[in-house]
Amino acid sequence: MPDTSKTTPDPEPFRVPDGDLDDLASTLAKTMAEVRQHGVILDRLGSEPAPPPASAAPQPTGGMPAVEAADSGQGEDPASVFILALGGEAYAVELAALSDWVNYLFLPVYGREISTARPWCAQWHEHPEAVARLHALWLAWQQFTDAEAGLSGPSTWHRDHLDQALVHLRAPDGPFAACTTSPARPNHRVLATPAPKQFGLGLAA
């Protein structure tokens, strides 16, 4: 007959307090967002072309602005990390990474309620000014939340970058002035910008 006196008793079930569960869920959500963002960044780095050999001379762009040079399809590395200096696939990859940051960090934390005083557009990626400002904000976030930025880095990012970006992005006359003012009535319209004026040389014969 087996000796049951030494049988190990079943452990009591472990229960996590509700308050700790909320913290755990929040931490898990943040971790998943970071994993997604890191995955996009790794994909972007993996898709970038190898740098040209040191002996290769830079190709002239013929005096075109950075945006036009990027769109010319030459496949050259841009001279800037700014998204408006990119073109084609490089722009699409950068916009995808930016979208993850906007959707999983910027909007959940700093989005605030939509109103006539603080418009927003779900199709923000179709507003060039919004893309430019959000990308600049994201670049600064990467710099000032890095450990090398020091303990005051996040505070500097909020004061010098986030606050100023929100003032212009969510202004009643900002890039979303003709867009959504109520989640129940979505609207999207890109406002027309002034046409560039062509100046002639005006040289007398």
pLDDT in tens, 27-52: 656 666 665 665 555 555 555 554 44
The predicted pLDDT at position 64 comes to: 32
Cβ–Cβ < 8 Å for 111, 120: yes
DSSP per-residue codes, 129-173: HHHHHHHHHHHHHHHHTSGGG-TTHHHHHIIIIIHHHHHHHTSTT
Whole-model pTM? 0.59
Q: What CA–CA distance (Å, rounded) separates 94 from 135?
A: 9
Cβ count near 159 (within 10 Å): 11
pLDDT in tens, 97-132: 999 999 999 999 999 888 889 999 999 999 999 999
